[in-house]
């Protein structure tokens, strides 16, 4: 895992007992099994609960995305996709989507947020199209550059994009 260039600090611990005391206590109180947790801006992976490197990468990706968000995780990789979506063939659909939800599109930031929310909606409602395929390709390219070896099917990527929507709704864009 050391080869991965993550945006969140990652610590691999051998067992639950090696987690920060507050996290360990909560796991004991709730009686749950976890493979990884995010705590105070850091992701902890529990080695004894992970059988393969691929499983560790999946847990890390899930926690990193859940606490950062799609646009922040992908950064410059997603920007061109959002820009092409907003100003390209999907423009009228994004504008209609924005109007229906009361989203602003006056500034570039607002336009990109509307495009991102439109894409998340496509994933949440399981509407497959070329725009989502471009987002999936951007995610795959990004993960390869970050050092991830995990192969994700479209259904996995749809889930990643869908989960990013809950961050938009909650306004949770930071670790």
pLDDT digits (tens, 9 = 90+) for 134-157: 888 888 888 888 888 888 899 988
Decide if pLDDT at 123 tops 50. yes
pLDDT class for 173, splitting at 50, 70, 90? very low
pLDDT class for 21, splitting at 50, 70, 90? very high
The proportion of the chain whose per-residue pLDDT surpasses 70, expressed as a percent, equals 84
Cα(27)–Cα(98) distance, integer angstroms: 41
Q: Which two tokens stand for residue 12?
A: 């691999």
Decide if pLDDT at 74 tops 80. no
Cα(168)–Cα(173) distance, integer angstroms: 7
Whole-model pTM over 0.95:
no
pLDDT in tens, 44-64: 999 999 999 888 888 888 776
Burial pattern 130-168, b for ≥16 Cβ within 10 A else e, equals: ebbebbbebbbebbeebebebebeeebbbbbbbbbbebb
Among candidate residues 143, 132, 134, the one with its CA nearest the CA of residue 7: 143
Instruction: Give the distance, in angstroms, between the CA of residue 137 and the centroid of all CA atoms in the same chain.
Output: 14
What's 7's DSSP letter? S
pLDDT at 78: 80
| Sign of the CA dihedral running 106, 107, 110, 115 | positive
CB–CB of 69/167 below 8 Å? yes
pLDDT class for 117, splitting at 50, 70, 90? confident
pLDDT at 141: 87
């Amino acid at each position: 895992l050391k080869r991965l260039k993550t945006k969140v600090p990652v610590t691999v611990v051998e067992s639950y007992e090696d987690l920060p005391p507050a996290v360990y206590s909560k796991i004991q109180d709730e009686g749950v099994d976890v493979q990884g947790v995010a705590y105070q801006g850091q992701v902890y992976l529990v080695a004894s609960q992970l059988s393969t490197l691929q499983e560790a990468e999946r847990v890390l990706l899930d926690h990193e995305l859940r606490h950062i968000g799609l646009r922040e995780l992908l950064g410059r990789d997603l920007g061109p996709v959002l820009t092409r979506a907003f100003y390209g063939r999907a423009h009228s659909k994004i504008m209609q989507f924005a109007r229906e939800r009361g989203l602003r599109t006056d500034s570039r930031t607002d336009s990109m947020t509307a495009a991102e929310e439109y894409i998340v909606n496509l994933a949440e409602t399981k509407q497959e199209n070329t725009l989502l395929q471009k987002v999936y390709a951007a995610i795959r390219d990004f993960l390869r550059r970050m050092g991830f070896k995990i192969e994700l099917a479209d259904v996995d990527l749809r889930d990643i994009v869908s989960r990013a929507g809950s961050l938009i709704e909650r306004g949770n864009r930071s670790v």
